């Protein structure tokens, strides 16, 4: 459902991606792990059709992301950018209506329930904490009926209890709806818990990939964090 | 003191190296200098025009002759009879009555050259004040009646009143509406930049063109709401001004006409709408280069304001010298409509809408998803 082949992307002289290849199948949660500036967000932006690759190509639901046909696919794609913040002067409910309106769906009840905002959903977003804002955006996007989810740090700023809820919701979404999920995170425990497969990315290339169990075994590591550090050292 | 200086140095470093600060700094300076240049040129032209005027005098009193002599010192050239042909050579013609005495009633025939031409020339009052001082009587004893001509035809007082109202109205349209539109566009785009929502929106089925169209429509609606509120305030303001102007000491009582017909107002509104769309497209483009609402609000007006300088100058300068400039078209169209020059009205409206269409097409071509997200142009 998601496939990238030798993706390259330059910004001026800077090579953000130098040949990233990866894929995610139906019902699969795939982790993207790497240090800051490794190319995770650029990869997700290319997969979302926001950036055109300088080389290689990416396909989502069978359509190349730089082709005119990709417009049709976007109905089934939901991308959560890392730094996005909902509008201060809208209520949580109005923001969900806005997102659902873009996709032509009306799934308010499920979104409110998933957000965990309760009665605060009718408060203005400027009264929300950072975690509440993040939960609101995640809930709005997880209820548009997408078949492909691109999630960039979905639990960033969210407290532990709600982060667990979001992870559970994403996992259930992938399993229940057969969606392909690309999940970028700095939280190794989170990646180890939720992801079926993991890609280690550094300086614009994939340095290793596999299931969390395979990576632990390959590097003789106690956890994914240790495996990640060893992979980067070996690659360096 | 160490903490204070560290904080100050940090602020100065951060702000002085901000390109947005530098843009607004340089933009403000350039706008000020340009405004001064345009205003200065206009005022010089007006002043030059006022140096050459005709004085028609035929057997007047001694006091009248002293007044005529003063007018000659201000640049007046003498004639013994009035003819409309004089208005082709001079901006205005002063007719000194045979029974001139203070308080004096003086008729001035003026060629319509913008709002300033319907006001009493300052040379008359200055000359009268000098004569009054010399003979030892109180000044301000001159009652000027202005007869305005355009293309050889004389305007009635009602015509002048409508012109005055149209002038004030279209001037507000030329300046206020584009600035409101620019400010609204700055907020609309600045919010998206500040909240990093472009990525979110453009990854949904929404296209960049849909986003731009939505911003155009919503900004125009918001600007119209703002303008409607301001227009009500302006009518109240002008009605107060009218009360002052109709006082017995006023040289020429202009009244605010409330009988502006839809056929006059519609072309002004259509021209303003077209120009606002062009300004809006430019403002949206500029705002995408900023990072937050505050920056957008300071940078966008500094880019738009220089475009409106001729409209500011139109209050002081002859309109016909500026009317080819699009942002003066609401006023030029209003004037043309009053005198039935519909060919000019339609021509300017066509130019305005062509400009709006070109601006929208250019911006929609430039503002791709890639441009909005990464700030770059579409890769070829």
pLDDT of B378 > 60? The answer is no
DSSP B180-198: HHHHHHHHHHHHHHHHTHH
In B, which residues are within 8 Å of A78 by CB distance?
Answer: 203-204
What does the alpha-carbon distance between residue B374 and residue A46 come to, in Å, rounded to a whole number?
Answer: 11
Does residue B1 sit in helix, strand or coil? coil
B107 contact partners, CB below 8 Å, separation of at least 6: B94, B95, B97, B144, B145, B147
Residues pairing with A184 in the sheet: A32, A152
Domain residue ranges of chain B, discontinuous segments joined by +? 14-44+159-374, 52-155
Domain ranges of chain A: 24-40+75-235
Mean pLDDT calculated for residue range B154-182:
74
**Calpha distance B282→B364 (Å, rounded):** 11
pLDDT given for residue A147 in this prediction: 95
What does B93-135 look like in DSSP terms, one character per residue? EEEE-TT--SSEEEEEEEE--SGGGGSPPHHHHHHHHHHHHHH
What is the rounded average pLDDT of the residues B280-297?
87
Gap between the Cα atoms of A174 and A178, Å rounded:
5
- CA–CA dist B301, A210 (Å, integer): 54
Is the confidence at residue A39, as pLDDT, over 50? yes
CA–CA separation, B91 and B75 (whole Å): 12
Give contacts of B 175-234 with A, CB under 8 A: 191, 195-197, 199-207
The whole-number pLDDT of residue A63 equals 95
Nearby residues of B231 by Cβ (< 8 Å), 6 or more positions away: B172
* pLDDT tops 70 at residue B320: no
C-alpha A108/C-alpha A164 separation (Å) is 22
Q: What is the predicted pLDDT for the residue at B101?
A: 78
Confidence of residue B31 (pLDDT cuts 50, 70, 90): low
Closest-CA residue of B relative to A140 is: B200
pLDDT in tens, B263-280: 777 888 889 889 989 999
pLDDT at B379: 39
Does A59 score more than 80 pLDDT? yes
- Residue B157 vs residue B299, higher pLDDT: B299
Domain B52-155 has CATH 2.60.120.10: no
The model's pLDDT over B327-343, given as tens digits with 9 standing for 90+, comes to: 888 888 887 877 778 99
pLDDT over threshold 90, residue A77: yes
Given this model, what pLDDT does residue B18 score?
65
Angle at B229 between CA B228 and CA B231, to 5 degrees: 60
Structure ipTM:
0.93
pLDDT category at A206 given cuts 50, 70, 90 is: very high
B204 min Cα distance to partner chain A (Å): 6
Query: DSSP string covering A38-91, please?
Result: SSHHHHHHHHTTSS--SEEEEEETTEETTSTTHHHHGGGEEEE-SS----TTSB
DSSP per-residue string spanning A135-187: HHHHHHHHTS--SEEEEESTTTT--HHHHHHHHHHHHHHHHHHT-EEEEE-S-
For domain A24-40+75-235, give the CATH number.
3.40.50.300
Q: Where are the alpha helices (DSSP H) in B148-292?
A: 157-195, 197-202, 208-245, 262-287
Task: Evaluate if residue B359 carries a pLDDT over 70.
Answer: yes
Instruction: Please tell me which residue, A85 or B133, carries the higher pLDDT value.
Output: A85
> Which residues does B80 contact at the CB level (< 8 Å), separation at least 6?
B56, B57, B58
Question: At B216, is the pLDDT very low, low, confident or very high (cuts 50, 70, 90)?
Answer: confident
Backbone angles phi, psi at A89, to 5 degrees: -90, 0
**Dihedral (Cα; B262, B267, B272, B275), 10-degree rounding:** 160
Cα nearest neighbour of A65 on chain B: B203
Residue A201: predicted pLDDT: 94
Nearest CB among A48, A71, A87 relative to B195 is that of: A87
Instruction: Please tell me which of the candidates A54, A83, A102 has its beta carbon nearest to residue B204.
Output: A102
- Lowest-confidence pick of A60-64, B40-44, B360-364: B40-44
Looking at residues B150-170, what average pLDDT do you find?
68
Q: What is the pLDDT of residue B373?
A: 85
Find the closest chain A residue to B206 by CA distance.
Answer: A102
pLDDT for res A28 = 95
Specify the higher pLDDT residue, B8 or A73.
Answer: A73
């Amino acid at each position: 459902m998601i496939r990238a082949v030798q993706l390259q992307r330059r910004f001026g002289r800077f090579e953000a991606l130098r040949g990233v290849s990866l894929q995610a199948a139906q019902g699969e949660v795939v982790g993207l792990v790497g240090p800051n500036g490794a190319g995770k967000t650029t990869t997700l932006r290319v997969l979302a059709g926001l950036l055109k690759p300088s080389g290689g190509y990416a396909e989502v639901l069978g359509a190349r992301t730089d082709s005119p046909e990709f417009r049709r696919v976007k109905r089934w794609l939901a991308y959560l950018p890392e730094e996005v913040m909902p509008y201060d002067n809208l209520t949580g409910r109005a923001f969900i209506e806005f997102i659902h309106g873009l996709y032509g769906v009306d799934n308010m009840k499920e979104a409110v329930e998933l957000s965990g905002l309760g009665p605060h959903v009718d408060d203005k977003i400027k009264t929300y904490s950072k975690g509440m804002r993040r939960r609101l955006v995640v809930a709005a996007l997880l209820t548009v009926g997408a078949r492909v989810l691109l999630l960039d740090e979905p639990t960033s700023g969210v407290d532990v209890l709600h982060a667990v809820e979001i992870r559970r919701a994403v996992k259930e979404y992938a399993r229940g709806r057969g969606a392909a999920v690309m999940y970028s995170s700095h939280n190794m425990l989170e990646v180890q818990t939720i992801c079926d497969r993991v890609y280690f990315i550094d300086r614009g290339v994939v340095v290793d990939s596999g299931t969390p169990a395979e990576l632990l075994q390959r590097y003789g590591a106690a956890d994914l964090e240790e495996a990640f550090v060893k992979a980067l050292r070996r690659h360096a | 003191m160490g903490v204070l200086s560290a904080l100050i140095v940090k602020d100065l470093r951060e702000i002085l190296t901000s390109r947005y600060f530098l843009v607004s700094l340089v933009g403000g300076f350039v706008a000020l200098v340009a405004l001064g240049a345009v205003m200065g040129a206009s005022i010089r032209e007006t002043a030059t025009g006022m140096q050459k005027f005709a004085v028609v005098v035929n057997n007047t009193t001694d006091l009248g002759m002293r007044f005529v002599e003063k007018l000659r010192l201000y640049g007046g050239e003498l004639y013994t009879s009035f003819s409309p042909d004089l208005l082709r050579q001079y901006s205005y013609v002063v007719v000194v009555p045979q029974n001139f005495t203070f308080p004096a009633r003086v008729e001035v025939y003026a060629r319509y050259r913008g709002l300033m031409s319907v006001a009493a020339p300052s040379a008359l009052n200055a000359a009268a004040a000098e004569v009054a001082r010399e003979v030892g009587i109180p000044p301000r004893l001159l009652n000027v009646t202005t007869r305005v001509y355009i293309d050889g035809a004389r305007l009635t007082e009602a015509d002048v009143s409508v012109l005055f109202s149209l002038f004030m109205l279209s001037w507000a349209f030329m300046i206020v509406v584009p600035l409101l539109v620019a400010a609204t566009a700055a907020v609309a785009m600045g919010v998206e930049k500040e909240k990093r929502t472009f990525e979110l929106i453009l990854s949904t089925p929404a296209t960049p063109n849909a986003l731009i169209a939505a911003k155009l429509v919503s900004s125009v609606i918001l600007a119209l709401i703002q303008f409607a509120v301001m227009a009500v305030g302006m009518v109240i303001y002008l009605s107060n001004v009218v009360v002052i102007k109709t006082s017995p000491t006023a040289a020429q009582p202009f009244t605010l006409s409330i009988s502006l017909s839809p056929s006059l107002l519609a072309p002004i509104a259509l021209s303003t709408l077209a120009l606002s769309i062009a300004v809006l497209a430019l403002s949206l483009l500029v705002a995408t280069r900023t990072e937050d609402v505050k920056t957008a609000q300071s940078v966008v007006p500094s880019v738009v304001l220089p475009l409106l300088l001729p409209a500011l100058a139109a209050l002081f300068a002859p309109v016909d010298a500026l009317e080819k400039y699009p942002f003066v078209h609401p006023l030029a169209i209003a004037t043309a409509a009053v005198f039935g020059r519909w060919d000019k009205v339609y021509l300017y409206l066509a130019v305005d809408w062509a400009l709006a269409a070109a601006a929208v097409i250019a911006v929609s071509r430039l503002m791709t998803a890639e441009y909005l997200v990464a700030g770059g142009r579409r890769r070829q």
